Amino acid sequence: MARSIWSGFLSFGLVSVPVGLFSATRDQGVHFNQFEKGTADRIRYKKVNERTGEEVAAADIVRGMDLGGGEYVIVTNEELKNIAPGRSETIEISDFVALDEIDPLYFQSSYYLAPRGKGADRAYGLLRQAMLESKRVGLATLVMRDKQYLVAVRPAEDVLVLETMYFAEQVRDPAEELDSLPEAVKFDGRELDVAKQLIESLSVAYDPERYHDEYHERIEALIEEKRQGRSLVYEPERPVSNVVNLMDALQASIAKVRGTAVEASVEEVAEAAPAKRARKAVPKAAEEVEAGAPHEQQHFEGMTKADLLTRAAELEVEGRSKMSKDELVVALRERTAGGNRSRKVS
């Protein structure tokens, strides 16, 4: 059972609900230790005095703010502790806003808010349902781990989710940060129509299971192969050339999605887009895979490796993360031709 990282009360108006805060995501990164090349000796870091080169104990280290020109203001841990905000006991919702009014750029990390203690379920459930039906999220502040956060509390299907947010002053202005911003060009006519048709052709119902951390899978495969004394080689994807003719690139993209000739007209694309969208939005059952096998197989070789991996995940092809592009094509042909058969590479 997960442990809460914060506990207190969620309040709106005069209603207070005992809640606990839990991490909603996990770090899936692969963490390596460092060694001296050719040895089994770990590399360690020490904090040393820049002038003397001698190691300094943690208790003797203070912090300083660089003011520029070699001038620093030194502060002690005790001074910082004295001005730190106290831990929040309550997440007090001050405002309710529409979720689509918040730019996703402001969201930072996600947590689950769960009712805590006897009798909390009813008030918790009331708030969640009221927020769902009014299509609103609550804004509040929270002090956690000696840091103050702006937070948004939003209703999900089964639970309330708390999103820590950036304050306005923490979000950079692109006009100030970027050397070159795209010119304000207004498009109309055929180019815009074809671009919109391409978007429609690639539109699907969002399914988080469609997307996977392929790099993480490759690292795991590499570690396993190395552990067994074997080597693993991946074929690099060929870089895509720069767009020279925008219209040609758009039409070629639509033709690739549809699996038809590049010369397809905009009107034909418009008619085919809904069918394509429905076909991609719903995973194929085994019977549908077999029925559509002859048509699908002829396109495997023209797909990118990322697309092949996505299709292999949909068909639950075992060992897909270890396969080369050619092996994926073979495995997918076997699966679509043989229904429940899969290919596993040792």
What is the DSSP secondary-structure string of 79-143? Answer: HHHHHSPPPPSEEE--EEE-GGGS-GGGEEEEEEEEE-STTHHHHHHHHHHHHHHHT-EEEEEEE
Q: How far is CA 260 from the centre of its chain?
A: 33
Average pLDDT value for the chain: 80
Rg (alpha carbons) of the chain, rounded to whole number: 28
Cβ atoms of 116 and 7 closer than 8 Å: yes
pTM of the predicted model over 0.75: no
Question: Does position 320 have pLDDT exceeding 60, yes or no?
Answer: yes
Q: How far apart are CA 56 and CA 124, in angstroms?
A: 50
pLDDT band at 297 (very low <50, low <70, confident <90, very high): low
pLDDT of residue 296: 55
Q: Select the more confidently predicted residue: 159 or 117.
A: 159
DSSP code at position 8: E
Among 263, 103, 226, residue whose Cα is nearest residue 174: 103
Question: Does position 234 have pLDDT exceeding 70, yes or no?
Answer: no
pLDDT band at 265 (very low <50, low <70, confident <90, very high): very low
Residue whose pair of structure tokens reads 């080597």 in the numeric block: 231
Question: Does position 339 have pLDDT exceeding 90, yes or no?
Answer: no
Among 283, 286, 342, 289, residue whose Cα is nearest residue 317: 342
Partners of 115 in beta bridges = 19
Cβ atoms of 36 and 56 closer than 8 Å: no
Question: Does position 111 have pLDDT exceeding 90, yes or no?
Answer: yes
Q: In this structure, which topology does domain 6-26+84-168 adopt according to CATH?
A: Ku70; Chain: A; Domain 2 (2.40.290)
Classified as helix, coil or strand, 266 is helix
Question: Does position 90 have pLDDT exceeding 80, yes or no?
Answer: yes
Mean per-residue pLDDT, 12-35: 90
Q: How far apart are CA 260 and CA 192, in angstroms?
A: 21
Q: Which of 12-26, 72-86, 277-291 holds the top average pLDDT? A: 12-26
pLDDT of residue 141: 93
Question: Does position 271 have pLDDT exceeding 50, yes or no?
Answer: no
pLDDT of residue 244: 56
Q: Select the more confidently predicted residue: 232 or 189.
A: 189
Question: Does position 66 have pLDDT exceeding 90, yes or no?
Answer: yes
pLDDT of residue 273: 43
Question: Does position 327 have pLDDT exceeding 70, yes or no?
Answer: yes
pLDDT of residue 276: 38
Residues of the chain above pLDDT 90, percent: 37
Mean per-residue pLDDT, 62-83: 89
pLDDT of residue 134: 93
Q: How far apart are CA 313 and CA 212, in angstroms?
A: 9
